[in-house]
Homo-oligomer: A and B are copies of this chain.
Amino acid sequence: MTFSAYVAVVGGSNPSDDELGAAHAIGYELARRGALVVCGGLSGVMEAVCAGAKEGGGTTVGLLPGDDRAAANRFVDVALATGLGEARNTIVARAVDVVVAVGGEFGTLSEIAFALRAGTPVVGLGTWELRRRGRPVDAIVAASSPRDAVETALRLARGR
């Protein structure tokens, strides 16, 4: 079992339909391209990306905040109950070659921030935009579509 890259796909548990569709397409495409899909294992974007990845014949890992792996969505192959609460976000962000963020709330922002802190590149699709003292900080690479997000992510993963 080898993978072309480890890619985390992060996003909220209450996404829009567009975000769900994008997450599904990203998961599918990542799987077709041989990447391991890592996520938080729960619902929303996490479930959509896993569903897409399984449809594409891929493998999915869910890093759960709680103690019970039964909380994982049904498209997670390897469900790891960390018992660490939200601190599991630091593992999601660190364990991969690149992070793709789709929409998302504050939990997603924490995963983006941890990835950037660890030097892991981040690709964003309709997600957070960062500014400091009135000026944009171009740390998140904006993608124009799910396919572009996957292309960009895999290119950045190879560059590491």
Contact = CB atoms under 8 A, between A and B. Distances in A.
Stoichiometry, as copies per complex, reads 4
Contacts of A67: 85, 94, 118
A60 to B, nearest CB: 8
Interface of A: 1, 6, 36, 38, 59, 61, 63, 67, 69, 77-78, 80-87, 89-91, 94-95, 105-107, 109-110, 112-114, 116-118, 126-134, 139
Contacts of A94: 67, 81-83, 86
Q: How would you classify the secondary structure of chain A's contact residues: helix, strand, loop or mixed?
A: mixed
A111 B7 CA distance: 23
A129 to B, nearest CB: 4
Given A90-B86, A118-B67, A131-B128, A95 B80 contact: yes
A126 B139 CA distance: 18
Contacts of A107: 113, 117
B109 A113 contact: yes
A9 to B, nearest CB: 15
A12 to B, nearest CB: 11
Contacts of A38: 80
